[in-house]
């Protein structure tokens, strides 16, 4: 097997993952390919103006690009020249036909499989990096191996399909890749299948054998690997919805959700992470993957399980509606023509990604109330403009002080480290009175804000 690796899909997953694989495997040539020419041009840009923002990413790309990491649109050549093909193309929620609004749209994935089949001249290991419904590997196996003559088990399979789902979180992608809790590789249990698994294990051990410790590289059958990815995201999303469900109760009873979360999380059986109440989860993964799990449950007749997971999504949607209703009530039951500044539009801090961001839903609900909306964000203004291009009159302002000038309320949507460090006395002085801050991330010093004269709203307090 040659040491070249190709990754099809140069997005949030393909780019950072392959940059770190190249860094830890200087003896391998890693090529990331995409049909999107602009994206590849950005990855190759002279001034390292990369298509995505991730702390630490640009430093690694500077180190490895041109050494053993390459970005290209020549997918055919890249596929021909390598023995291991990672596929990290997008698998969004399907918006048409059977399973619309729930199932994964697998058209990009299937197109890729057909291309690999048509272009490959020798056996290849095809690794699912995208998040996919359980048993996708069976469909891929059927497409890829459809024209291979059956002469014996080892010759039957020109392509071996593995599942190697990615667990990185945006904003901490490089840290998560360099030091993952676990790497999961699912493969067929027969001899060629296990040889393919070992080839991918070797990548994660790194050239010097000191990247991911072998004990953290978990190998399973393909179906367990595919399902684990969906289940892991569903468990994390469920924790966020659970604490947000408690937050509403805290507001009604005088309890404090941050205190409740701290004490719940001190139980070692539960643990402290993913218990932060807020505006609800966003990002390209949680909603899509939970909906996909719902669809799978329904497909297999597990209707009660489907309803259970659907509750996680319903709770999440409700959280953004609650934010706008509380603001409405606080601001004398009318928001029309009031100026509101949204602080943060990215779905979480340290990323410019705005896919499924709660700020987008809140912006639209506020626009329905005829609010004069200003949006500020240090990294996501370009995406915000694009997402809200159908909304007239929205102002986009990089400087938070200017964004808040003359506003009736600031609604903090993203927990950027910058926001607690701002001069809130200066902000108060320029706002219309009474001035309100709705801190949906509970990250500002509410006592200080009240001292300055602000009316303060929090989640779960």
In whole angstroms, the minimum distance from the beta carbon of 283 to ligand UDX comes to 3
> Rounded CA gap, 69 and 381, in Å?
30
In whole angstroms, the minimum distance from the beta carbon of 280 to ligand UDX comes to 7
In whole angstroms, the minimum distance from the beta carbon of 91 to ligand UDX comes to 12
> Rounded CA gap, 329 and 331, in Å?
5
Pick the piece of the chain touching ligand UDX (CB under 6 A) from 53-61, 84-92, 162-170, 386-394.
162-170
Q: Are 290 and 312 in contact (CB under 8 A)?
A: yes
* Closest-approach residue to ligand NAD (CB): 11
Per rule CB under 6 A, is residue 276 in the interface with ligand UDX? yes
Per rule CB under 6 A, is residue 35 in the interface with ligand NAD? yes
| Binding map of ligand UDX across residues 166-195, x = CB under 6 A, - = no contact | xxxxx-------------------------
Among candidates 188, 276, 184, which has minimal Cα distance to 230? 184
Please give the backbone phi and psi of residue 137, each rounded to the nearest 5 degrees, phi first.
-60, -30
174-201 exposure pattern, b = at least 16 Cβ within 10 A, e = fewer: bebbeebeebbbbbbeeebbeebbebbb
Pick the piece of the chain touching ligand NAD (CB under 6 A) from 11-19, 134-142, 184-192, 264-272.
11-19
Structure tokens at 334: 């009318």
In whole angstroms, the minimum distance from the beta carbon of 287 to ligand NAD comes to 11
Among candidates 160, 197, 203, which has minimal Cα distance to 28? 203
Structure tokens at 135: 């048993």
* Burial grade of 397 (CB within 10 A; 0-12, 13-18, 19 or more): middle
Pick one of 274, 308, 328, 428: the residue that binds ligand UDX (CB under 6 A). 274
Pick the piece of the chain touching ligand UDX (CB under 6 A) from 56-64, 271-279, 331-339, 383-391.
271-279
What DSSP designation does 241 have?
A: H
Q: Are 405 and 431 in contact (CB under 8 A)?
A: yes
Q: Which residues contact residue 20 at a Cβ distance below 8 angstroms, ignoring those fewer than 6 apart?
A: 60, 174, 177, 178
Q: Is 122 a catalytic residue?
A: no
Pick one of 8, 285, 306, 342: the residue that binds ligand UDX (CB under 6 A). 285
Pick one of 284, 372, 442, 458: the residue that binds ligand NAD (CB under 6 A). 284
Per rule CB under 6 A, is residue 39 in the interface with ligand NAD? yes
Pick the piece of the chain touching ligand UDX (CB under 6 A) from 27-35, 250-258, 276-284, 328-336.
276-284
Of 66 and 271, nearer to ligand UDX (C-beta) is 271
Give the footprint of ligand UDX on residues 343-382 (CB under 6 A).
Answer: 347-348
Among candidates 170, 179, 76, 176, which has minimal Cα distance to 121? 76
Residue whose structure tokens are 């055919």? 76
In whole angstroms, the minimum distance from the beta carbon of 51 to ligand UDX comes to 16
Q: Are 86 and 14 in contact (CB under 8 A)?
A: yes
Contact residues for ligand UDX, defined by CB under 6 A: 166-170, 233, 236, 240, 274-276, 278, 281-283, 285-286, 347-348
Contact residues for ligand NAD, defined by CB under 6 A: 8-14, 34-36, 39, 75, 88-91, 108, 111-112, 130-131, 166, 168, 170, 284-285
Q: Which residues are marked as active site?
A: 285
């Amino acid at each position: 097997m040659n040491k070249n690796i190709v990754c099809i899909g140069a997005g949030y997953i393909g780019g950072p993952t392959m940059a770190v694989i190249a860094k830890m495997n200087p003896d391998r040539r890693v090529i990331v390919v995409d049909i999107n020419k602009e994206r590849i041009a950005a990855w190759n840009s002279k001034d390292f103006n990369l298509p995505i923002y991730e702390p630490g990413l640009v430093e690694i790309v500077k180190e490895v690009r041109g050494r053993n990491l390459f970005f290209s649109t020549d997918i055919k050549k890249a596929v021909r020249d390598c023995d291991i093909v990672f596929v990290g193309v997008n698998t969004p929620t399907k918006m048409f036909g059977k399973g619309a609004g729930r199932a994964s749209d697998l058209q990009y994935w299937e197109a890729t499989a057909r291309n690999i089949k048509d272009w490959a001249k020798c056996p290849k290991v095809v690794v699912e990096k995208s998040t996919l419904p359980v048993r996708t590997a069976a469909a891929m196996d059927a497409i890829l191996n459809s024209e291979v003559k059956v002469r014996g088990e080892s010759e039957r399979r020109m392509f071996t399909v593995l599942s190697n789902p990615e667990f990185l979180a945006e904003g901490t992608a490089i840290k998560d890749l360099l030091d993952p809790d676990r790497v999961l590789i699912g493969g067929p249990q027969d001899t060629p299948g296990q040889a393919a698994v070992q080839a991918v294990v070797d990548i994660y051990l790194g050239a010097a054998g000191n990247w991911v410790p072998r004990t953290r590289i978990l190998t399973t059958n393909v179906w367990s690997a595919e399902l684990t990815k969906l289940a892991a995201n569903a468990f994390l999303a469920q924790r966020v919805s659970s604490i947000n469900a408690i937050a509403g109760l805290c507001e009604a009873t005088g309890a404090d959700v941050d205190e409740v979360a701290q004490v719940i999380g001190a139980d070692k059986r539960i643990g402290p992470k993913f218990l932060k109440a807020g505006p609800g989860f966003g990002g390209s993964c949680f909603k899509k993957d939970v909906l996909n799990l719902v669809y799978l449950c329904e497909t297999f007749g597990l209707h009660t399980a489907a309803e259970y997971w659907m509750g996680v999504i319903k709770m999440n949607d409700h959280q953004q509606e609650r934010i706008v209703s509380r603001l409405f009530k606080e601001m004398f039951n009318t928001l029309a023509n009031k100026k509101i500044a949204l602080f943060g539009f990215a779905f979480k801090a340290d990323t410019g990604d705005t896919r499924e961001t709660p700020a987008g839903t809140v912006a639209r609900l506020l626009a329905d109330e005829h609010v004069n909306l200003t949006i500020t964000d240090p990294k996501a203004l370009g995406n915000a403009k694009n997402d809200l291009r159908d909304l007239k009159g929205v102002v986009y302002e990089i400087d938070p002080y200017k964004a808040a000038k003359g506003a009736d309320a600031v609604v903090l949507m993203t927990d950027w480290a910058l926001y607690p460090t701002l001069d809130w006395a200066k902000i108060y002085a320029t706002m219309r009175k009474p001035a309100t801050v709705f801190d949906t991330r509970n990250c500002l010093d509410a006592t200080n804000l009240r001292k300055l004269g602000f009316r303060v709203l929090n989640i779960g307090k």
